Chain A
Amino acid sequence: MPVFRHLLFKSLLLAGVALMFVPAVAATDTVPFSVSHAWIRWLPGNLPLAGYATLENDTSEARILVAASSPAFKRIEFHRSMEMHGMKGMDHMMGGMSHMKHLKSVTVPAHGTFRFGPGAYHLMMWRSGDIEVGDHVPVTFRFSNGMTMTVEFAVRGPAG
C-alpha cells in the first residue's frame, strides 16, 4: 500500500508540476522562487500534523501565500507557535506559555525567505487518509498573484 500511495502521489505531483503556469521552478540555473526543506512530522492516529518548508523569493515582489492543499490532507492551515513570557498577570507562573495562532496568509518578502520551521510558523495539516513515515506527499501552494507550485514533502518520524 505505501508503494502504491507513493506512486499515486508521485503521479499527482507530476500532474501538478505539469499544470504549473509559472515557470518559476523550471530547471534553470536561476530559480526566482523555490521551496526547500519540505517535511512533515508524523504523529499517530488521525492527529493533525505539522509541515515545514523554506520558501525563497528572489523576485522583486513580495509573494503572499494564501492557500495550501494536498490529496493527502483534507485541510491545511497556516499556524504560528509562540512562546509567551512575562505577560501581565503571569508573574506567578513557572516557565513560559505555549500558544498557537491561526493565520490567513503568510508573506515571503521580495528577495527574501520565509521559513515554516519547528517551534514557529508551520502548516497545520488535517489528514484525509493513512500517511506513514517515509512517504512523500505533494502539497500545492497557491499565492495571491495566482501562482501555484507543488512541492513534495518527506514524512519523518515524531521526533523529526
Chain B
Amino acid sequence: MTFRCCASLVAASLLLAGLAACSGSAQWRTTDITGVMPDLAFTLTSETGATVHADDFRGKVKVLFFGYTHCPDICPITLGHLAAALRTMGADAKQVRVLFVSVDPKRDTPALLEKYTDAFGPQFVGLTGTQEQLRELTKRYRVAYSYGPPDENGNYLVNHGSAIFVFDRQGHVRLLMNRSDPTKAIAHDLELLVNE
C-alpha cells in the first residue's frame, strides 16, 4: 500500500520539493518512476543463444538499456559510465545486472554481444531477440528504435531510445537514469536498491 501511495504522489512530491511524500522514502538522486511503468518482462535470446526471461534475473537489481554494437560512441559511453559507477560499489555491484538489449539482431549475434558486453565487466549481459520480441519490450517501456538506409558498404545506422531503466530485485520499475547522471548518483541509487 505504501508503494502505491508513493506512486500516486510522484507529481505532488515534485511540486513540493524537499518534502518527503511518504515516510521512509529513499532520497533518490536519479528519477524515481516507481509504479509508472510495468514490471520487467521479456523473452529474449541470451549471449549463449538460449532463450532467457526477465524472471531469470530475479533477485538482482536490473539496469535496462537499448543499443547496438555497431554504435561506437553513445553505447560504449553509456556502458562505460555504468561500469564506472559499478566499480565504486564494491561487493554490492555483484547484485546488479546491466541488460544491454541490442535492437540490431541482424548484426548482433549472441557471440558478438558476449564479447561486447564482457569488455565492460562481468555484470554486463547482452540480449537480443526477434523483431517481434524487441517490439514488445520496447513498446512496454515506450522506447523507439528504427534503422537508417544502408550505405554503399551495406552499413546502416540505428536510432534507439537512450533511456536507462532500473528495476528492483523483484522486477518492479523504480528509476529512470541517463548517461548525464553522475556516476556517484547512479552508484548511490543502485546501492540503495541492492540493500532494500
A complexed with B: yes
Chain A interface residues toward B at CB < 8 A:
41, 43-45, 47-50, 75, 79, 81, 83, 90, 92-100, 102, 118-119, 122, 124-125, 157-160
The listed residue (B70, B76, B151, B159) touching A99 by CB distance below 8 A is: B159
Q: Known contacts A43-B116, A44-B119; decide if A159 and B84 are in contact (CB<8 Å).
A: yes
CA–CA, A122 to B144, complex, Å? 24
User: Is residue B112 contacting chain A, with contact meaning CB distance below 8 A?
Assistant: yes
Q: Known contacts A94-B161, A95-B178; decide if A122 and B84 are in contact (CB<8 Å).
A: no
Residues on A with C-beta less than 8 A from B155 are: 48
Within 8 A of A (CB), among B122-177: 141-144, 148, 151, 153, 155, 157, 159-165, 176
User: Is residue B120 contacting chain A, with contact meaning CB distance below 8 A?
Assistant: yes
Can you add 15 more A-B contacts, CB < 8 Å, to A50-B73, A96-B163, A160-B80? A47-B70, A48-B72, A48-B155, A50-B72, A92-B142, A94-B163, A95-B161, A95-B162, A97-B144, A98-B67, A98-B74, A98-B159, A98-B162, A159-B79, A159-B84
Residues on B with C-beta less than 8 A from A119 are: 73-74, 77, 179
User: Is residue B83 contacting chain A, with contact meaning CB distance below 8 A?
Assistant: yes
Contact at B143–A93, with CB atoms within 8 Å? yes
Chain B interface residues toward A at CB < 8 A:
37, 67, 69-74, 76-77, 79-81, 83-84, 112, 115-116, 118-120, 141-144, 148, 151, 153, 155, 157, 159-165, 176, 178-179
Contact at A96–B120, with CB atoms within 8 Å? no
Residues on A with C-beta less than 8 A from B141 are: 94
| Shortest CB distance B156–A (Å) | 10
Contact at A44–B116, with CB atoms within 8 Å? yes
Contact at A79–B73, with CB atoms within 8 Å? yes
Residues on B with C-beta less than 8 A from A159 are: 76, 79-81, 83-84, 120
Contact at B73–A122, with CB atoms within 8 Å? yes
The listed residue (A92, A102, A118, A157) touching B73 by CB distance below 8 A is: A118
* Most B Cβ at <10 Å: residue of A48, A98, A119, A122: A98
CA–CA, A45 to B69, complex, Å? 10
Contact at A41–B161, with CB atoms within 8 Å? no
Residues on A with C-beta less than 8 A from B143 are: 93-95
Contact at B77–A118, with CB atoms within 8 Å? yes
Contact at B163–A158, with CB atoms within 8 Å? no
Contact at A102–B77, with CB atoms within 8 Å? no
Contact at A158–B79, with CB atoms within 8 Å? yes
Q: List 7 A-B pairs, minimum CB-CB distance, nearest first.
A: A95-B163, A159-B80, A50-B72, A44-B115, A98-B162, A158-B119, A50-B73
